[in-house]
Amino acid sequence: MIIIIQEDSLETDKNLYNQIQTLISNTTSLFSTSCLSPEKLRSEAQTGFINALNSYSPALKVKFTTYAHVCMQRQILSCFKTGPANNTPNK
């Protein structure tokens, strides 16, 4: 996925966008029964994905998608730790 980001073409951009959206959807589906709204889950997952982009290193010897998935999960979980006052209930 990192190599795809470095390429510059419309088809590559569409492919990358679809891969990212699939990764985000797979991650948020794990938390779909939580008290967080789907929008809040997606927002937190996107923040986690950006954190993964900024902190990933090939020296970790793990695939980027695996690393990003863990970063997104941790970002969502951190939202639960901040307390219910900061969480939007799922309607």
* Number of helices (H), then strands (E), in the chain: 4, 0
> Which carries the bigger pLDDT value, residue 82 or residue 70?
70
Query: Which pLDDT does position 42 carry in this prediction?
Result: 94
Query: Which pLDDT does position 82 carry in this prediction?
Result: 76
> Which carries the bigger pLDDT value, residue 64 or residue 9?
64
Is 91's pLDDT higher than 60? no
Query: Which pLDDT does position 36 carry in this prediction?
Result: 86
Cα–Cα distance list, 39 to 26, 32, 43, 44, 57 (Å): 14, 11, 6, 9, 29
Is 25's pLDDT higher than 60? yes
Query: In whole angstroms, what is the distance from residue 48 CA to residue 10 CA?
Result: 25
Cβ–Cβ < 8 Å for 70, 18: no
